[in-house]
Amino acid sequence: MLDIRMIRENPELVKENIKKKFQEEKLPLVDEVIRLDAESRKVQAEADELRSKKNQVSKQIGTLMAQGKKEEANAVKQQVASFSEKLKELEAREPELQGEVRKRMMLIPNIIDPSVPIGPDDSHNVENERFGDPVVPDFTVPYHTDIMESFGGIDLDAAGRVAGNGFYYLIGDMARLHSAILSYARDYMIGRGFTYVIPPYMIRSKVVDGVMSFSEMDAMMYKIEGEDLYLIGTSEHSMIGRFIDQIIPAAQLPLTLTSYSPCFRKEKGAHGMEERGVYRIHQFEKQEMIVVCEPGDAMHWYNILWKNTVDFFRSMEIPVRTLECCSGDLADLKVKSCDVEAWSPRQKKYFEVGSCSNLGDAQARRLKIRIKGEDGRNYLAYTLNNTCVAPPRMLIAFLENRLQADGSVTIPEVLRPYMGGVDRLIPRYNSITGEKPC
């Protein structure tokens, strides 16, 4: 949500930003906000003036009564009563207008960074840099669930019977590998100076409204029936919500946090939900990064965050690239965002495994997260988030890149302490040839 002063003073800039995001249907919102805001301020001014008059006139009643001027006192009382009636109308109108202003402002997208490429959708995202050499082996890499099944490591049929499409059972080596990657990610981020947190997995509606746009909420969030609670789609939601209505001393910043949580998503409108696999699912786990910082430090931390993910994947010898999100692919609250994509030897292309975002003061404005400066002045914080790793999607990249011709999967050195020292997983049969190992 933008500062109302920006909309008042720079409406054309706000409209131009809407055009850059290819959301022309939202252009009328700017003029509506300006009109309703002006009406709201007018009503507020009338109410303030009426309160002042009412207070002044009310003081006359006691004086007139003391002087025995009953009729004049009664006339003043009638005048006060009329003021009160009018004031009641104005006071009812004030929050109504403010609510209409806020409702529209919540739909107006944040101002994007000048460095963001302009384009209508993700087909216009721009590759930034590649890390590691993408390799295509001299054998055909099977579909990821076929690899998992060769280890007896996944049961989608049973998950479908229990919970429906978009769920899974991970078993044996696959379950252990999943947990090992998360444990390594936790220690990796702690080693980078981030404080480890396990947050609530449900949040109230006022936090939902503060951390995401309405379109995201509708597409993602599961509502708990009969409760003012939603299951989180990512731990960013409850991590940022932790600071709602808080004033943070500047000396305590930046707050650099890493959080583990399960994540729950409706994936409304997503493609491929009926397909076999664990790429797009309703339930997964994730190690996240969160930063709350001074406005001037946001881009510095943005670059640190995405590099952390790149370094994490490269430590397991998985090739990755970064992809700059174009204007039309940015969620409304985001100032700038990039995806980290891992190489898929099977598809011979990269696919998303993480996303890094600078949200400016959008979340802080909605949630009233402020900084107490050294001069005693309060101002809004900036918030950022990034995925360190989100298995089981990450397992796809891991298995495809570390699969050997004999069907085994090698374990990188950094992960071996979390796998009981094992350096290789041996399958029940070779997923490439179908043969049992010797």
Is the per-residue pLDDT at 280 higher than 80?
yes
How do residues 239-264 score in pLDDT, each as one tens digit? 999 999 999 999 999 999 999 999 99
Is the per-residue pLDDT at 75 higher than 80?
no
Q: What are the Cα distances from residue 376, in Å, to 156, 195, 252, 355, 379?
A: 57, 27, 14, 35, 10
User: What confidence score (pLDDT) does residue 274 get?
Assistant: 43
Percent of the chain residues past pLDDT 90, beyond the cut: 83
Percent of the chain residues past pLDDT 70, beyond the cut: 97
pLDDT confidence tier of residue 425, bands split at 50, 70 and 90: very high
Q: What are the Cα distances from residue 265, in Å, to 230, 285, 289, 386?
A: 11, 11, 19, 17
User: What confidence score (pLDDT) does residue 70 get?
Assistant: 75
- Over residues 200-228, mean pLDDT: 90
Is the per-residue pLDDT at 312 higher than 90?
yes
Is the per-residue pLDDT at 333 higher than 70?
yes
Which residues are CB-neighbours of 422 under 8 A, at least 6 positions away? Answer: 411, 416
User: What confidence score (pLDDT) does residue 67 get?
Assistant: 77
pTM above 0.85, yes or no: yes
User: What confidence score (pLDDT) does residue 218 get?
Assistant: 78
User: What confidence score (pLDDT) does residue 268 get?
Assistant: 60
- Over residues 335-343, mean pLDDT: 98
- Over residues 6-27, mean pLDDT: 97
pLDDT confidence tier of residue 270, bands split at 50, 70 and 90: low
The more confidently predicted of residues 136 and 273 is 136
Q: What is the mean pLDDT of the chain?
A: 93
- Over residues 382-409, mean pLDDT: 97
How do residues 82-123 score in pLDDT, each as one tens digit? 878 888 889 899 999 999 999 999 999 999 999 999 999 999
User: What confidence score (pLDDT) does residue 275 get?
Assistant: 58
- Over residues 392-403, mean pLDDT: 96
- Over residues 264-280, mean pLDDT: 70
Name which of 56-65, 125-134, 150-159 the model is least confident about: 56-65
Task: Determine the Cα–Cα distance for residues 367 and 359; give it in Å rounded to an integer.
Answer: 13
Is the per-residue pLDDT at 80 higher than 80?
no
Is the per-residue pLDDT at 335 higher than 60?
yes
Which residues are CB-neighbours of 177 under 8 A, at least 6 positions away? Answer: 395, 398, 419, 425
| 3-class secondary structure per residue, the chain | CCCHHHHHHCHHHHHHHHHHCCCHHHHHHHHHHHHHHHHHHHHHHHHHHHHHHHHHHHHHHHHHHHCCCHHHHHHHHHHHHHHHHHHHHHHHHHHHHHHHHHHHHCCCCCCCCCCCCCCCCHHHCEEEEEECCCCCCCCCCCCHHHHHHHCCCEEHHHHHHHCCCCCCEECCHHHHHHHHHHHHHHHHHHHCCCEEECCCCEECHHHHHHHCCHHHHHHHCEECCCCCCEECCCHHHHHHHCCCCCEEEHHHCCEEEEEEEEEECCCCCCCCCCCCCCCCCCEEEEEEEEEEECHHHHHHHHHHHHHHHHHHHHCCCCCEEEEECCHHHCCCCCCEEEEEEEEECCCCEEEEEEEEEECCCHHHHHHCCEEECCCCCEEECEEEEEEEECCCHHHHHHHHHHECCCCCEECCHHHHHHHCCCCEECCCCCCCCCCCCC
Domain ranges (residues) in the chain? 4-105, 122-425
- Over residues 179-194, mean pLDDT: 98
User: What confidence score (pLDDT) does residue 273 get?
Assistant: 39
The CATH code belonging to domain 4-105 is: 1.10.287.40
Q: Which fold would CATH assign to domain 122-425?
A: BirA Bifunctional Protein; domain 2 (3.30.930)
